[in-house]
Amino acid sequence: MTLKLSWGNRPRQAQRVTTLTSRHEGIPTESSLLPFGNGRSYGDVCLNEHGVLLATRNLDHFINFDPKIGVLECEAGILLSEITKHTLPHGWFLPVTPGTAFITLGGAIANDIHGKNHHRAGCFGAHVLSFELHRSNGEWFCCSPSEHADLFTATIGGLGLTGLITTASIQLRQVQGPWLTGSSHRFANLQGFFDLSSVADESNEYTVAWVDCCAAGRRLGRGVFMLANHTHGDGSITARTPLRLPFTPPISLINRYSVKLFNEVYYRRRSAEKSVARWHYQEFFYPLDRLLEWNKVYGPAGFFQYQCVIPEQDAARHLKEMLGRVAATSSASFLAVLKKLGSIRSVGLLSFARPGITLAMDFPNHGSRTLALLDSLDAITREAGGAVYPAKDARMSSESFQQYYPAWREFSGFIDPNFSSSFWRRVTENIKK
């Protein structure tokens, strides 16, 4: 048994790790298996306490790439950063990308991830043409919207529970190069965000806002809105050398004072207001990838992320209440993101993304104080008829989960009998601590 951690550095659970070395080898016959991609989920969807994790990172071979039509087939353990490195020189980019490029293709499918272009492109699953799914009884299926369509929709957003994805074929998006152009705008309060979003989403491919969770009162929900589109232009497409936090500091470097200071500076800096901005794609999409293992700044206790989506109707009221509650506590968040999710239906049975406004916030782990705050946020999300994102979660109650994902029972029928996860047991076994 070894300790394997997800991105939030908690929960700390012991499990066995079996490293897969070839996609042709089939999967072990042991009980309670769960695929593990690159551990960029924050909580326990990628953990399986006392069970076995199937480490997929060595399944990282390209299989087929047609630069004429942008169709890429590769093994599921490849990182998105590797994909772009090799397809961008041919003018093809990821159809959907999250805020870090260090996730695997398998992880992108299993959480049916969304990006800053959700209002245009929907989730990652919408661009998956097919994949190969291996089950613990030795069977394997080629799944697509037309073949084994039920397993296809269960596996997209299926949290690794329906079997092991060994390979997948995706449709890439054509681009003119590594550059994006757009602009950046301060907004003074939450209403400012809604105003900008309703205009910007119509004519821009990528939109996202950073929000200052420390601001209260009239300034509640102030932030910086960014919009961007792909553009032409030459320039280096090679990766910058990232820095690495060399050790875990004994205590969290993120506290009320450091966050307040950071947020104030971030909001006031000159470049927050820019009528014409130009970004390299890595700078725009993955600013945090510059600092490898930045999650260590939260110290050994780790941290939580809370990401919810609130239906648009009444969103302003609910989000105000949430931000107000966060601002009133000392559990400040410095990475807070607001984005409007569009109306393209997610493919997956359990996909998180649905129309509404999504808010994501990080909180240092202060034990029961933090848990109580997050429970109170959940109360708001439930009342609003929203949902919380499993990829970011380590604590939602089974009641909440079952309300957010009413399809969970139907989904259970597709679970591989030998697969399970800490997350799934937590949210379906109705155990109260």
Ligand X SMILES: Cc1cc2nc3c(=O)[nH]c(=O)nc-3n(C[C@H](O)[C@H](O)[C@H](O)COP(=O)(O)OP(=O)(O)OC[C@H]3O[C@@H](n4cnc5c(N)ncnc54)[C@H](O)[C@@H]3O)c2cc1C
Least Å from the CB of residue 391 to other proteins: 25
Number of residues that bind other proteins (CB under 8 A): 12
Which letter does DSSP use for residue 90 in this model?
Answer: G
The correct pick among 32, 38, 130, 207 for binding ligand X (CB under 6 A) is 38
**72 or 341: whose CB is closer to other proteins?**
72
Kindly state the tokens that stand for 261: 């200071």
User: What residues from 69 to 108 belong to the interface with ligand X (CB under 6 A)?
Assistant: 76, 98-100, 103-104, 106-107
Q: What are the residue ranges of helices labelled H in 111-238?
A: 118-121, 149-155, 190-203
How far from the centroid of its chain's Cα atoms is residue 166's Cα? Answer: 21
- CA-nearest of 7, 3, 17 to 44 is 7
Instruction: Choose between 48 and 403: whose C-beta lies nearer to ligand X.
Output: 48
Task: Kindly determine how many residues on this chain lie close enough to bind ligand X according to the rule CB under 6 A.
Answer: 31
CB of 61 to other proteins, least distance (A): 4
Site for other proteins in 21-60 (CB under 8 A): 21-24, 58
Cα(134)–Cα(164) distance, rounded to whole angstroms? Answer: 5
Q: Least Å distance between CB 64 and other proteins?
A: 7
Q: Strand locations in 92-178, DSSP E?
A: 92-93, 128-134, 140-143, 164-171, 173-174
Radius of gyration of the chain (CA): 21
Q: Is 368 exposed, middle or buried (0-12, 13-18, 19+ CB in 10 A)?
A: exposed
Q: Is residue 63 a contact residue for other proteins (CB under 8 A)?
A: yes
Binding mask 71-90 for other proteins (x = CB under 8 A): ---------------x----
Beta bridge partners of 19: 55
**Residue 24 binds which of ligand X, other proteins, none (CB < 5-8 A, kind-dependent):** other proteins
User: Can residue 415 be called a binding residue for ligand X (CB under 6 A)?
Assistant: no
> CA distances (Å), 293 to each of 35, 80, 100, 242, 345, in order?
21, 17, 12, 10, 33
Q: Going by C-beta distance under 8 Å and a sequence separation of 6 or more, which residues neighbour residue 119? A: 201, 207, 340, 341, 342, 344
> Smallest distance from the beta carbon of 339 to ligand X, in angstroms?
8
Place of tokens 């959700």: 118
Residue 86 binding target from other proteins, ligand X, none, CB below 5 to 8 Å by type: other proteins
Cis peptide before 242 (omega within 30 of 0): no
Report the partner that residue 62 touches, choosing among ligand X, other proteins, none (CB closer than 5 to 8 A by kind). Answer: other proteins
| Minimal distance, residue 226 CB to ligand X, in Å | 13
61 near other proteins, rule: CB under 8 A: yes
How far apart (Å, rounded) are the C-alpha atoms in residues 193 and 188? 8
For 55-86, b/e burial (b = at least 16 CB within 10 A) is bbbebeeeeebeeeebebbbbbbbbbbbbbee
* The only residue of 33, 46, 121, 347 in contact with ligand X, by rule CB under 6 A: 46
165 binds ligand X (CB under 6 A): yes
Closest CA to 213 of 327, 319, 337, 298: 327
Answer yes or no whether residue 4 interacts with other proteins by CB under 8 A.
no
Nearest residue (CB) to other proteins, 198 versus 238: 238
Point out which span in 112-120, 175-183, 213-221, 366-374 binds ligand X (CB under 6 A). Answer: 112-120
Query: Is residue 354 within the footprint of ligand X (CB under 6 A)?
Result: no
Q: How far is the CB of 213 from other proteins (least distance, A)?
A: 37
What is the binding site for ligand X (CB under 6 A)? 7, 34-41, 45-46, 56, 76, 98-100, 103-104, 106-107, 110-111, 113-115, 159-160, 164-165, 288, 391
